[in-house]
Each structure stands twice: as structure tokens, then as C-alpha cells.
């Protein structure tokens, strides 16, 4: 709940900016100014970098050779007073005669967000004073944290330069509204300011956040030279890292699946600026067909789904559908799968954060894709291709906005995958396709189309329909969201459709 609330908060007030959401209350305590942070670059172009605090809660002064403390000048100011309410309603029956603005009987799902963190304050380090304070000082290359950081040459050393904190107690509550006849379900997350300290509990899950809790932070990357001297990366185009003796820009560490896979150079905290595939920016106001050529190679791994036994494929599909209403489960599962694909021993603390039945669902998915949790190994070498395909699919899901993922889950339950797949594959160079095509027949109903239109709009794609045609075009600043939707639809459709 905490991760979802902070993530949605940043999507509203700092999309594409420098701020990073805090994913757990435990990390909130570690997010102190000048704390040392590891920036871990990701494989897929649509994945944001992951920021990890040191387990020993290191500060910048802890990794300097002289051992003298660093006393930053802190500038504090009022940041914002944040309150937001939005909702989506999906209604329909088992015959897929669906409407979101009229009352068809059958089943419904309600997706609602209500946030009020109250008045927030910003605390930031005076960088000019800090640079003078650490001038000519040297980082201890023998410090255990630095030595471990060097083992993965794609990791970057950072420090916390800014953080956003609450000024009063807040309450996060969560519950699910579901009518199983339709199978559409979604979670309602509410964040409210608690003025008097009273907490009212009912059937919802309630989390109390104290005052002075860090909900977001920003980092400054460091470029560390071989002799221990370092530079702050003050310009956006200046990237941090370790000085290398080779001319190679990025060198990937050995892994189970991706020994030859190059890293993408996308380096934006959120998913708005700089979106590209193979170095080419996604154009705004372009037909959806522009995505086809560039992502063809990345969707090829989904063919492995067709090689699975039908019962196993169906079980994976159903379990993935079950977790689409819980972004935290998707995030934790993605973290485990990524560690496996990198050849690392995945930390089971990712799954320990999940409650039943989510933890059991995530463990079952791992077993079905061929990973033995107890013995921490692949069940058979042939499962590497399956792990790669699942990694791509879950990584895409993890980048979806929570509302979009919940609506996507409803579309799956309402058997709209063939139509969604058709929309992403048969559009012409002008972004048009005939509404009379057999694969699009499920979208002719106005209510059904409005559901899909809402899903596409949350993925930065404009979808319109007239008497003859359906048009699909990318919005002005698409980010990676069109790609995320394309991968999600392609992966789920490959799991669901009959073998070729």
C-alpha cells in the first residue's frame, strides 16, 4: 500500500522529474540526506533504474578516507499540499455486453484513488557548500560497500541530495470491491491526513504513517576515478559510474540468460522523457504501427508460451490475471525473476513482504516457470527461454499505472484479448483499421469500446471509432507506456491463445 501510494503521488506531481518514490517504510528511515544509494541499471528500455540503500545505512562521510564528518547545509521549504481523487468503474455481464456509463447487470469493479498527504516539506542539500566541504577528499576504494559496488560495473554510486517528508500523521487504507460473476476486481487505496490521532478500523487494511516520513527523494550521481577522487554529476547528460580502463561504455556482468544483451542507455527516473527503443525516440502523434518493427525481436520470446502444455500455460495465465489488481505483488515478483535471470540468488525477502494468498500465487508462478525456490535453482536448462519471456512480460506489467493494470485485468476476464491484440497489430501506417474486421467484433458495442479506450488512454494512446474505422495514435509525449501495453497484450495473448 505504501509503495502504491508514493508511486501514484509522484506520477501526478513529478512525472519525468528527478524524484524517486520510497517503496517501503523501512527504506524511509534510510533515506537521510547524504545517504549512500546504489543505482542499478535495468535490462529493458522501459524499466526505470532501481535505487537501493546500503544495508549498513552508510553516509557519504562513512566512505571517505579521512573519516571526518560531512556537515551539509540543509535548505527546507514547503513543497506542496497534495489531495487527489479519481475513479474508474467497469460494469458488464458474461456475454460481454459491457458499459461503463450505464447499468448493465452482471458484475462490476470499482477502481478508486483518494490521496491526501497534507502539507509536504522539501529538504535539500546546498550543493555549492557540499562541493567546497568535500573538495580534494577521497573515497576509500577498500570500503566493503565500494568493493561490492565495483563487482557490478553497471551500478552507479549516488547520494541523497533531496527528500520530501510528511508533516503530519497519515493513514493508508485498502480494500477490494469485487463481484465475481464478472470477475472484474480492483483495489481501492486511500491516503488521508489524520488530524487527531484516532484510527478507525473496519474490514480494510490500515497502515499508519507517522509525521516526518520520507515519501520521495532525489539523488546525485558520482563519478569515481581510479585514484579515489570523485566528481558530482551536476548536468543531466553527465553519467555517474566508475572510471574504466577500456573504451567500452557499458560492460555487462555474467548472467544466466543475458550474457550478450546490451543495456539500454535510458536514464530517466520516470517514464515520460527520453523514451526510445534501440536509441530511437518514440515519436509523438504517430500511428500505433510505428511500434511494430522495433519491438519485433523483444516479442519473439513469447513464442515459448506456445510450447507449454495447455494446462500449465492456462495456470500461468490465470495466476497472472489474479495479481493484476495488486501492483505490489507484480513488483516483488518482477524483482525475484530479474535476480534469477541475472544469475543471482534472489532474496526471498521480496516475497516475504506479500501477504496470503499473494505470496502463494507468486511462489506458484515461479514454480510453473521452472524455478525451485527451496533449492534455489532452475528445474531444467530449457526453462531459461521461459524465464526470459516471463521477465519481459512481468517487467512490462510492473511499469503499467495501477488503474491501467486493473482495467487490463478486467479486459482479460471479459475475453477481450483477441481484440486488444488485433488493435496493436493490424493498424495501417495511417493508424486505421476497419471496425468490421472479425477480430474487432467484440469492440463494436459502445460500452466495450469505452473500456478499451480508457485502457489505451492510460497508456498514452488515443483510440477513436467512427462508423467505418477505428484509429489508434500515440499521444504527444508517449514515454514508454505504449510499449508497455504492447508487450503486456502480446504476452497475455500468447499465453491464452490456442497452439498454432
Q: Output the pLDDT for position 280.
A: 58
Q: Which distant-in-sequence residues (6+ apart) come within 8 Å of 464 by Cβ?
A: 453, 470, 471
* 311-369 residue pLDDT tens: 999 999 999 999 998 888 898 899 889 888 887 777 766 677 788 888 899 999 999 99
Residue 314 to residues 14, 34, 66, 221, 494: CA-CA distances in angstroms?
A: 39, 48, 60, 44, 11
* 392-401 residue pLDDT tens: 999 999 989 8
Q: CA angle, corner 137, sides to 133 and 138, nearest 5?
A: 145
Phi/psi of residue 441, nearest 5 degrees: -60, -30
* 452-478 residue pLDDT tens: 999 999 999 998 888 888 888 888 888
What is the spatial distance between Cα 330 and Cα 335, in angstroms, rounded to a whole number? 9
In eight-state DSSP terms, residue 160 is E
pLDDT at 188 over 60: no
Q: Which distant-in-sequence residues (6+ apart) come within 8 Å of 235 by Cβ?
A: none
Count other C-beta atoms under 10 Å from residue 133's C-beta.
17
Q: Output the pLDDT for position 275.
A: 57
Q: Where are the domains of the chain?
A: 2-242, 273-500
Q: Output the pLDDT for position 205.
A: 65
Q: Are 448 and 416 in contact (CB under 8 A)?
A: yes
Q: Are 133 and 71 in contact (CB under 8 A)?
A: yes
Q: Output the pLDDT for position 107.
A: 39
pLDDT at 30 over 50: yes
What is the spatial distance between Cα 209 and Cα 192, in angstroms, rounded to a whole number? 10
The residues that bridge with 470 in the sheet, in sequence order, are: 433, 465
Phi/psi of residue 160, nearest 5 degrees: -75, 120
pLDDT at 250 over 90: no
Q: Which distant-in-sequence residues (6+ apart) come within 8 Å of 300 by Cβ?
A: none
Q: Which distant-in-sequence residues (6+ apart) come within 8 Å of 498 by Cβ?
A: none
What is the spatial distance between Cα 433 and Cα 289, in angstroms, rounded to a whole number? 11
* 110-131 residue pLDDT tens: 445 556 677 889 999 999 999 9
Q: Which of 2-6, 204-208, 254-258 tops mean pLDDT? A: 2-6
pLDDT at 198 over 50: no
pLDDT at 185 over 60: no
- Hey, what's the cell of 202? 473496519
User: Among 144, 200, 98, 190, which residue's Cα sits nearest to residue 414?
Assistant: 98
* 41-97 residue pLDDT tens: 777 777 778 898 987 779 999 999 987 889 999 999 988 765 555 555 555 443 333
In eight-state DSSP terms, residue 79 is E
In eight-state DSSP terms, residue 448 is H
Q: Output the pLDDT for position 73.
A: 95
What is the spatial distance between Cα 423 and Cα 434, in angstroms, rounded to a whole number? 10
User: Bigger pLDDT: 133 or 260?
Assistant: 133
Residue carrying the nine cell digits 467484433: 441
What is the spatial distance between Cα 236 and Cα 406, in angstroms, rounded to a whole number? 34
- Hey, what's the cell of 443? 469492440
3-state secondary structure of 109: strand
* 430-442 residue pLDDT tens: 667 777 777 787 7
pLDDT at 265 over 50: no
User: Bigger pLDDT: 244 or 251?
Assistant: 244
- Hey, what's the cell of 331? 513488483
Q: Output the pLDDT for position 113.
A: 52
* 365-391 residue pLDDT tens: 999 998 877 777 777 766 788 998 999
Q: Are 223 and 240 in contact (CB under 8 A)?
A: yes
User: Bigger pLDDT: 248 or 51?
Assistant: 51
Least confident of 226-240, 375-389, 411-425: 375-389
- The percentage of residues in the chain with a pLDDT greater than 90, rounded to a whole number, is 29
Q: Output the pLDDT for position 128.
A: 94
- Its pTM stands at 0.74
pLDDT at 263 over 50: no
User: Among 231, 234, 219, which residue's Cα sits nearest to residue 54?
Assistant: 219
User: Among 309, 345, 338, which residue's Cα sits nearest to residue 41?
Assistant: 338
Count other C-beta atoms under 10 Å from residue 429's C-beta.
9
pLDDT at 105 over 50: no
Burial of 223 (0-12, 13-18, 19+ CB in 10 A): middle
> H or E segment at 133?
helix 127-133
- Hey, what's the cell of 51? 535505487
What is the spatial distance between Cα 38 and Cα 146, in angstroms, rounded to a whole number? 10
Q: Output the pLDDT for position 160.
A: 97
Dihedral sign (CA 488, 498, 296, 300): positive
Q: Which distant-in-sequence residues (6+ apart) come within 8 Å of 7 by Cβ?
A: 21, 23, 327, 402
Q: Output the pLDDT for position 187.
A: 52
Q: Output the pLDDT for position 470.
A: 85
Radius of gyration in angstroms for the set of CA atoms belonging to the chain, rounded to a whole number: 23
Mean pLDDT of the chain: 77
Sheet holding 461-465, edge to edge: 432-434, 469-474, 461-465
* Cα–chain center distance at 303: 24
Q: Output the pLDDT for position 257.
A: 47
- Hey, what's the cell of 317? 495465465
Q: Are 210 and 167 in contact (CB under 8 A)?
A: no
In eight-state DSSP terms, residue 428 is -
Q: Output the pLDDT for position 293.
A: 67
User: Among 257, 396, 262, 407, which residue's Cα sits nearest to residue 334?
Assistant: 396
User: Bigger pLDDT: 297 or 243?
Assistant: 243
Q: Are 193 and 168 in contact (CB under 8 A)?
A: yes
Q: Output the pLDDT for position 162.
A: 96
Amino acid at each position: 500500500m505504501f509503495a502504491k501510494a508514493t508511486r501514484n503521488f509522484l506520477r501526478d506531481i513529478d512525472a519525468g522529474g528527478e524524484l524517486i518514490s520510497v517503496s517501503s517504510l523501512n527504506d524511509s528511515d534510510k533515506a537521510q540526506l547524504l545517504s549512500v544509494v546504489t543505482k542499478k541499471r535495468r535490462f529493458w528500455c522501459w524499466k526505470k533504474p532501481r535505487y537501493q540503500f546500503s544495508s549498513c545505512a552508510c553516509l557519504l562521510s562513512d566512505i571517505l578516507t579521512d573519516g571526518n564528518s560531512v556537515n551539509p547545509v540543509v535548505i527546507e521549504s514547503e513543497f506542496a499540499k497534495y489531495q487527489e481523487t479519481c475513479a474508474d468503474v467497469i460494469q458488464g455481464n458474461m456475454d460481454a455486453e459491457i458499459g461503463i456509463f450505464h447499468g448493465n447487470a452482471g458484475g462490476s469493479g470499482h477502481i478508486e484513488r483518494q490521496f491526501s498527504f497534507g502539507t509536504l516539506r522539501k529538504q535539500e542539500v546546498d550543493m555549492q557548500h557540499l562541493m567546497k566541504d568535500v573538495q580534494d577528499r577521497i573515497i576509500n576504494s577498500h570500503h566493503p560497500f565500494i568493493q561490492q559496488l565495483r563487482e557490478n560495473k553497471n551500478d552507479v554510486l549516488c547520494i541523497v541530495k533531496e527528500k520530501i517528508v510528511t508533516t503530519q500523521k497519515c493513514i493508508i487504507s485498502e480494500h477490494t470491491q469485487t463481484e465475481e460473476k464478472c470477475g472484474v476486481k480492483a483495489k481501492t487505496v486511500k491516503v488521508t491526513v489524520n488530524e487527531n490521532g484516532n484510527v478507525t478500523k473496519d474490514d480494510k487494511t490500515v497502515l499508519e504513517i507517522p509525521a516526518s516520513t520520507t515519501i520521495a527523494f532525489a539523488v546525485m550521481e558520482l563519478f569515481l576515478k581510479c585514484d579515489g577522487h570523485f566528481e558530482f554529476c551536476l548536468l543531466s547528460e553527465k553519467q555517474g559510474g566508475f572510471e574504466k580502463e577500456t573504451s567500452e561504455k557499458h560492460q555487462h556482468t555474467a548472467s544466466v540468460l543475458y550474457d550478450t544483451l546490451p543495456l539500454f542507455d535510458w536514464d530517466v527516473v520516470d517514464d515520460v522523457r527520453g523514451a526510445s527503443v534501440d536509441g530511437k525516440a518514440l515519436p509523438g502523434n504517430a500511428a500505433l504501427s510505428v511500434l511494430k518493427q522495433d519491438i519485433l525481436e523483444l516479442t519473439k520470446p513469447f513464442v515459448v508460451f506456445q510450447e507449454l502444455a495447455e494446462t500449465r500455460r492456462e495456470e500461468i495465465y490465470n495466476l497472472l490475471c489474479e495479481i493484476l489488481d495488486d501492483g505490489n505483488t507484480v513488483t516483488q515478483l518482477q524483482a525475484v525473476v530479474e535476480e534469477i535471470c541475472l544469475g543471482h540468488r534472489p532474496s526471498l525477502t521480496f516475497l516475504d513482504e506479500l501477504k496470503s494468498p499473494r505470496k502463494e500465487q507468486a511462489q506458484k508462478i515461479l514454480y510453473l516457470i521452472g524455478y525451485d525456490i527451496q533449492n534455489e535453482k532452475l528445474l531444467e536448462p530449457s526453462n531459461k527461454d521461459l524465464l526470459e519471456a516471463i521477465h519481459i512480460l512481468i517487467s512490462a506489467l510492473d511499469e503499467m499505472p495501477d488503474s491501467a493494470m486493473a482495467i487490463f485485468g478486467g479486459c482479460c476476464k471479459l475475453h477481450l484479448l483477441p481484440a486488444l491484440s488485433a488493435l496493436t497489430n493490424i493498424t495501417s501506417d495511417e493508424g486505421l483499421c476497419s471496425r468490421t474486421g472479425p477480430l474487432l467484433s467484440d469492440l463494436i458495442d459502445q460500452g466495450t469500446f469505452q473500456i478499451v479506450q480508457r485502457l489505451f488512454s492510460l497508456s498514452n494512446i488515443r483510440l477513436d471509432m467512427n462508423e467505418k474505422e477505428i484509429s489508434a495514435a500515440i499521444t504527444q509525449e508517449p514515454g514508454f507506456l505504449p510499449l508497455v501495453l504492447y508487450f503486456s497484450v502480446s504476452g497475455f495473448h500468447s499465453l491464452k491463445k490456442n497452439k498454432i
